[in-house]
Amino acid sequence: MEGKVSFGDFAKLELRVGEIKKVEAHPNADKLFVLAVDLGEESERTIVAGLKGFYSEDELVGRKAIFAANLEPAVLRGVESNGMILAAVSEDKKEVKILSVDDGAEVGMRVS
């Protein structure tokens, strides 16, 4: 593991339960999906995720997961991403597993 992070720094990260509402192939990238995600806000967010090849669109739609909600927007191959889905990734990057939430976790709940 790398260096330690203070609790204060960790607390700055806003992790929330979100539900993937729509998935589309990224128009300019073979390994990326463009997700429409409900984080319990007024409107859905667009989040770009490198999940293609690990999950199908059908496996993602309707799935609840944990998202980093307060990251600065990043443009990934021409599409602005407004958050990040959390996933466990093997050292060789051949396995990617989305972090799931228990049944009953509601969209928008803060993870702490």
Quick: pLDDT tens for 29-78.
999 999 999 999 999 999 999 999 999 999 999 999 999 999 999 999 99
Task: Assign 98 a pLDDT band (cuts: 50, 70, 90).
Answer: very high
**Residue scoring higher pLDDT (2 or 105):** 105
For residue 33, CA distances in Å to 36, 50, 105 come to 10, 6, 24
Q: Which two tokens stand for residue 22?
A: 């729509």
Tell me the domain boundaries of the chain.
13-105
pLDDT at res. 2: 77
Question: Which sign does the torsion angle of CA 73, 15, 26, 35 carry?
Answer: negative
**Kind and range of the H or E run holding 11:** helix 7-11
Statement: residue 1 has pLDDT above 70: no
Dist. CA 21–CA 23, nearest whole Å = 7
Cα three-residue angle 112-21-87, rounded to 5 degrees: 45
CATH number assigned to the domain with residue range 13-105, chosen from the 4 options 3.40.1280.10, 2.40.50.140, 2.60.40.10, 3.40.50.2000: 2.40.50.140
